[in-house]
Amino acid sequence: MEYRKLGRTDLEVSVIGLGTMTWGEQNSEAEAHEQLDYALAQGVNLVDTAEMYPVPPKPETQGLTETYIGTWLAKTGRRSEIILTSKVIGPMRDAKRPGHIRDGKTYLDRKNLTAALDASLKRLQTDYIDLYQLHWPDRTTATFGKLAYPWVKDDYTVPIEETLSVLQDFVRAGKVRHIGVSNETPWGVAQYLKLSETKGLPRIASIQNAYSLLNRVFEIGLSEFTHWEDVSLLAYSPLAMGVLTGKYLDGARPEGARLTRFTRFTRYEGPEAESAARQYVQLAREHGLSPAQMALAWVNSRPFVASNLIGATTMEQLKENIASAQVQLSPEVLEGIERIHRSQPNPCP
């Protein structure tokens, strides 16, 4: 397993990170513990979760993912062996975002951030989180598949400086080691960095955004920050919710699969997505590669990626995904990927 520096911190994270958002919905507590045991045995040290998980978010399951991690930590005593990350949700500004947590008034202010962190620490059965992330911005942005900035003037947003001041108190108290953002934009990253520099506030170490063969938008504006400002990418949805495995081609809906069970996930659907996915799957097979491992190995190879957050509902999937860390793509495969990308760029932003 390869390890990469996270931002300007002293943390070295595994190039494959363990995503957990299915635990408590598609995976049981025993299965979650089995995944943790196997992942650590393969050298994975980054475990990523969120107060909102599992997904799809529901009142009756909210927090179960963190709870399962907490029971594993209590059982094994292996807290020092993992880099544990979690996320606090932002305000509900559209119907797809959860309104059941803290009565839907989840602004990134002191009251909500404090309540969220304390609840996460209790569920996780730990007294600190290595990387605490803002799950999405407090303001309305062009994220979660939006194609353009919406030009919406929100009635109220918490100033970024106020949010950072609260996070600074968490760091000083020893409850959080480092901070990061998620589903953020270039403007947002610039503001966080500016306030850190001018106000002496904590510096974001990372950004967790969607990144895959079907969504390379990160490369356009955000990757430059990783180069010059050392803000590492934690890439989520590297398989585009399984679309890049090829299992959904031609309308197939395998029993138990996420897009079979849940209709709310539409970000990676549509004729353009299917056409591009078909070409990537065909390219992989022409070169004797697993489509999933080719897609993951490509994400692993990007210089701005600190950790590639894979997720799995079966041990077979988990083993295949983690093994992508050992796959090196040939120049011919990389050229083929770029050829497809040029013909169908970013069908699923």
Between these two residues, 42 and 270, which has the higher pLDDT value? Answer: 42
Per-residue pLDDT reduced to its tens digit, 304-347:
999 999 999 999 999 999 999 999 999 999 999 999 999 999 99
Per-residue pLDDT reduced to its tens digit, 215-265:
999 999 999 999 999 999 999 999 999 999 999 898 878 887 777 777 777
Per-residue pLDDT reduced to its tens digit, 139-152:
999 888 788 888 88
Whole-angstrom Cα distance, residue 37 to residue 240?
Answer: 25
Helix (H, G, I), strand (E, B) or coil at 90: coil
Please give the share of the chain, as a percent, with pLDDT higher than 90.
Answer: 86
Per-residue pLDDT reduced to its tens digit, 24-55:
999 999 999 999 999 999 999 999 999 999 99
Cis preceding linkage at 54, omega within 30: yes
Q: What is the pLDDT of residue 93?
A: 80
Q: What is the pLDDT of residue 250?
A: 87
Which residues carry out catalysis?
Answer: 53
Claim: this prediction has a pTM higher than 0.75: yes
Ranges assigned E (strand) in 80-203: 83-88, 129-134, 176-182
Name every residue whose Cβ is closer than 8 Å to that of residue 44 and which is 6 or more positions away in sequence: 1, 14, 16, 17, 18, 322
Domains of the chain: 3-343 (3.20.20.100)
Q: What is the pLDDT of residue 206?
A: 98
Report residue 85 as tokens. 């990350």
